[in-house]
Amino acid sequence: MLSDLLRWGGKRPGQPDTPGEASARSGGEPVVSSKAFPKFLTALGHQPAPPVLVDFGPVIGSNVSFFGDQLGCKLFIEDLFADFDRHARAGTLDALAGTFPTRFRHAEASVDGILCWDIFDFLPKAAAPALAREVLRMLRPGGVVMGFFCTSSVPRSPFLKYEIVDEKSLRHRPHAGGGGPKHALQNRDIIKMFEGLMVSDSFLLKNNIREILLKRRS
């Protein structure tokens, strides 16, 4: 009884400390707070008209609903992880870079925001700059790009899909597909690759993921 009273002001028996802890108990899919995502949303919210958004990840229903509710935007799903997987299975990863110039139907400077997630970690050396060139082409002045970059290379890593929990946190969920090796890009390589964009924000998370927000000067 007394112990119940003493506990009253603090943490309750079933109450988790963090969302991550909550997910760990509920099934192991970690919820990770994101520093860059709220800034990405803020930047899109400042657009004068409903924004045009490109998502390089797989389609996630709750993300679609989130963007519809929050931004009322036009969303293009361009699942590059599926492309990667298809080429990896066919053994034609070297040809992936060549597909990018014709892959996207967006006009020059027509997109307000691009969600790259961690696709650049997986891309072969020739494909990463080719995709960056397309990002630069599509992005309108004032547009923003969000990407996640690992800090150390991994010989083989599964794909993750990033489900939006709220404005500040993402659930990292396993994603169908073979995955692949992850290459750690140096900061200078990222800056060089996206020449023409400025690094608006960069965060190193506790899980050693760099969240980088790039912006095209308006």
Partner 1 sequence: MWKRDEAAKPNTPAAPGAGSQPASTPLAAEAAPSRPVTEPQRGQERSTVNIGKSVVIKGELNGSEDLTIEGQVEGKIELRQNVLTIGPNGRIKAQVFAKSVIILGEVTGNVTASEKVDIRDNGSVDGDITSPRVAIAEGAHFRGSIDMQKGAVKGEGKSAPASTPVSSQSSSTQSSGSQATTATPAAAGANR
Q: Does 59 bind partner 1 (CB under 8 A)?
A: yes
Q: Reduce the DSSP state of residue 146 to 3 states and report it.
A: strand
18 binds partner 1 (CB under 8 A): no
Minimum gap (Å) between residue 107 Cβ and partner 1: 10
Tell me if 68 contacts partner 1 by CB under 8 A. yes
CA distance 114 to 55: 6
Nearer to partner 1 by Cβ, of 107 and 154: the residue is 107
And the tokens for 174? 């396993």
d(CA 85, CA 123): 11
CB closer to partner 1 out of 128 and 144: 144
52 sits near partner 1 (criterion: CB under 8 A): yes
User: What secondary structure letter does DSSP report for 194?
Assistant: T
- Residue 165 Cβ, how far from partner 1 at the closest point, in Å? 15
Name the segment binding partner 1 (CB under 8 A); options: 33-41, 69-77, 141-149, 200-208.
Answer: 69-77
**Residue 142 in contact with residue 11, Cβ under 8 Å?**
no
Question: Read out DSSP for 7-45?
Answer: HTTS--TT--SSHHHHHHHHTS--EEE-SHHHHHHHHHH
Tell me: does residue 109 bind partner 1 (CB under 8 A): no
Q: Does 202 bind partner 1 (CB under 8 A)?
A: no
Distances from the Cα of 130 to the Cα of 35, 110, 120, 126, 194, angstroms: 27, 18, 11, 7, 10
74 lies in the site for partner 1, by CB under 8 A:
yes
What is the pairing mode between strands 111-117 and 52-55?
parallel
Contact residue for partner 1 among 36, 43, 60, 160 (CB under 8 A):
60
Q: Which is nearer to partner 1, 79 or 189 (CB)?
A: 79
Q: According to the binding rule CB under 8 A, does residue 65 interact with partner 1?
A: yes
Who's near 134: CB < 8 A, 6+ residues apart? 100, 101, 103, 104
Instruction: Point out which residues bind partner 1 (CB under 8 A).
Output: 48-50, 52, 59-61, 64-65, 67-69, 71-77, 79, 110
